Structure 1
Amino acid sequence: MKLTAHNLTAPSKESKEEVRGRWLAGIAITIIGMLVAVMLLFLTFQGLALFIDNKVNVIDFITGTDWDPGHGHFGALPMIATSLTITFVAGLISLPLALMVALAITEILPNGVRKFIQPLIELLVGIPSVIYGFVGLTVIVPFLRSLFGGTGFGMAAAVIVLFAMIMPTMISMTIDTLEAVPNTYRMGSAGLGATRWQTIAKIIIPSAKSGILTAMIFGMTRAFGEALAVQMVIGNTAMMPGNFMQSAATLTSVLTTGIGNTIMGTAANNALWSLALILLIMSLIFNILIHLAQRKGR
């Protein structure tokens, strides 16, 4: 092909494709951003309708303990307290166990065993939540009933189900975090005469602490937003729980059971949207904590 000034200055095929790719990526990001913004605005306006249209006091809504929207009682504290309690308890139980399993897989077990166990953990991560709820309903609830009496439904059953749900996720994320620790750290520690456990305790865990904390918060975020599995085992009684064997209700369980039984625009429906707004705010707080944990580790 004869070279001309136009050929030398014209954009190449690769540069045109790059520009086209940037435009497509920009359009996709814009569409996704607009969808997220619309969803957030819609949920915010719907969630505030109870306080603006129905003149319900925000403090009374958050601190009240009587939940009966049909009769004008909008106390959301029982659901908030129950959601936070079972989330933190499940997270605190899961973290040390997830860390021990991840350390065993990455630092102790032979590669053959690791190649067998890790795919099983990844498989557990992808199991639908309804399966965990069904197992809880058919196995955990009857077991707790036979052990402690009562119905078996309650916060204890919800904690066990959430523990089983978030453990694989936390293990998988912790494994990725531990594998990201450079091998030179291990080799240097061994060269200085440290034992395997000293290396794990003094080198590996401190180096991966931000990722471990991120795995814990991520698992708790999933637990806090879980609806179906918890709804199947917690009993769905919107009252302040006195103990872990007593039936209770979470934000998500009240939303899923009540949203189809109310009329749009009524105070009862607005109250459910307000619960959804609280759920959104708490989820955003968890996500902010994840970003803070990641930035701290950099």
Structure 2
Amino acid sequence: MDPIRDKILKRSKESNQDVIGKILSYAAIILILVVVVSIFAFVFAKGIATFTENHASLKDFLTGTDWNPNIKGEDGKPLVGALPMIVGSFAVTLLAALFATPFAIGTALYMTELSSSKGRAFMQSVVELLVGIPSVVYGFIGLTVVVPFVRSHFGGSGYGILSGAFVLFVMVLPTITSMTVDSLKAVPKHYKSASLALGATEWQTIWRVILRAALPGIMTAVVFGMARAFGEALAVQMVIGNASLLPTSLTNPASTLTSVLTMGIGNTVMGTVANNALWSLALVLLLMSLFFNILVRMISRKGRM
């Protein structure tokens, strides 16, 4: 056979495969974009119905403390004060991140700088095991262990923001740890070599060189952990007390956006004031997820600079 003809046919076949691959790739990208835009449009349309159809006040929604969508206030508008849930979500998220970050950084430093290969493999298995535990299991453990512990040592009924933060602390720990490990591994090796060559001790190198170089990645890990905690529903719902009241103490029963959503969405009729109010809470959650993603991109961009 003619070798030139074989080459032409081979190139033609490879070109066809390239075209098919590009078509499939672009189709997948377009599908993802359509799904994301559709989700945003659907939740946004449902979320603003509380203000356009039921004439609720946006100011009262964000700053009000009375949550009872089926009842109207003196001004004739439904009582949809979401401030207790917003405060509860932020309080649980920030407290869980505050608890988890030191443990995550310490674990990541041990895995990347101090441990042997066996110790690193063992810790990696533990982190992966924590990721695989279902949320309901964390909730049951929190209900049977954390709530009695908080009741005995901090007072109150045991249900509240503190219990939710303890449960979320364990749940977000593997996320922050894994991403921190990746950030520490991404630090160029010659940074450490140069620091040790200049006479710095190992701990001085870790504290002043490695951690500082990996700081943008660590901050990104913390933000991802906060996003994970902010959207958690089932485990928090089981230990926080689910009281739609503005929290005055870490040990008082409270509620989060996700806990109110999971409890109420199945008990409302589509199109009613109560259902529209829950969709408004879902819109707040979606906007917060968008905020966390934008924050991650800003941190990553600053780290590259």
Q: Quick check: 47-56 or 85-94, which moved more?
A: 85-94
Match of 1:58 in 2: 58
Query: Hey, what's the Cα distance between the residues in 2 that align with 1:51 and 1:138?
Result: 41
Query: Hey, what's the Cα distance between the residues in 2 that align with 1:21 and 1:259?
Result: 42
Matching residue's letter, 2:149: F
How big is each residue's C-alpha offset from its partner over 1:1-29, in whole Å with a ceiling of 9 and x where there is no partner? 22568964884322221211110011111
For the pair 1:152 / 2:148, whether they are aligned, the reply is no
- Give the Å deviation of 1:76: 0.4
**Which secondary structure does the structure 1 equivalent of 2:217 belong to?**
helix
Structure-2 change in CA distance of 1:81 and 1:16 (3 Å)? same
Query: Hey, what's the Cα distance between the residues in 1 that align with 2:222 and 2:135?
Result: 19
- Give the Å deviation of 1:192: 1.4
Give the root-mean-square deviation of aligned CA atoms.
1.6
Match of 1:176 in 2: 182
Match of 2:240 in 1: 234
Matching residue's letter, 1:44: F
- Give the Å deviation of 1:60: 1.1
How big is each residue's C-alpha offset from its partner over 1:200-259, in whole Å with a ceiling of 9 and x where there is no partner? 112101111110000000000000000000001001000101101100000000000001
Question: How does the TM-score come out when normalised to structure 2?
Answer: 0.94
For the pair 1:135 / 2:138, whether they are aligned, the reply is no
**Which secondary structure does the structure 2 equivalent of 1:297 belong to?**
helix
**Which secondary structure does the structure 2 equivalent of 1:70 belong to?**
strand
Match of 1:275 in 2: 281
Match of 1:125 in 2: 131
Q: Quick check: 166-175 or 3-12, which moved more?
A: 3-12
Query: Hey, what's the Cα distance between the residues in 1 that align with 2:162 and 2:30?
Result: 44
- Give the Å deviation of 1:196: 0.4
- Give the Å deviation of 1:162: 0.6
Q: Quick check: 35-44 or 108-117, which moved more?
A: 108-117
How big is each residue's C-alpha offset from its partner over 1:177-212, in whole Å with a ceiling of 9 and x where there is no partner? 101112111111111111101111121011111100
How big is each residue's C-alpha offset from its partner over 1:143-201, in whole Å with a ceiling of 9 and x where there is no partner? 22223343211111001001011011111110111011121111111111111011111
1:11-26 equivalences in 2 (<5 Å): 11-26=11-26
Gaps of 5+ in 2: 72-77
Matching residue's letter, 2:65: T
Structure-2 change in CA distance of 1:195 and 1:54 (3 Å)? same
Structure-2 change in CA distance of 1:260 and 1:5 (3 Å)? same
Structure-2 change in CA distance of 1:147 and 1:4 (3 Å)? closer
| Equivalent residue in structure 1 for 2:89, among 83, 98, 106 | 83
Query: Hey, what's the Cα distance between the residues in 2 that align with 1:94 and 1:142?
Result: 21
Q: Quick check: 142-151 or 65-74, which moved more?
A: 142-151
For the pair 1:253 / 2:259, whether they are aligned, the reply is yes
**Which secondary structure does the structure 2 equivalent of 1:54 belong to?**
coil
Structure-2 change in CA distance of 1:8 and 1:105 (3 Å)? closer
Query: Hey, what's the Cα distance between the residues in 2 that align with 1:159 and 1:115?
Result: 28
How big is each residue's C-alpha offset from its partner over 1:90-119, in whole Å with a ceiling of 9 and x where there is no partner? 112211221111112211122221121112
How big is each residue's C-alpha offset from its partner over 1:120-159, in whole Å with a ceiling of 9 and x where there is no partner? 1122122211111111011111122223343211111001
Matching residue's letter, 1:42: F
Query: Hey, what's the Cα distance between the residues in 1 that align with 2:259 and 2:240?
Result: 9
For the pair 1:42 / 2:48, whether they are aligned, the reply is no
Match of 1:95 in 2: 101
Identical pairs, percent: 53
Matching residue's letter, 2:201: T
Question: How does the TM-score come out when normalised to structure 1?
Answer: 0.96
Match of 2:214 in 1: 208
Q: Quick check: 254-263 or 94-103, which moved more?
A: 94-103
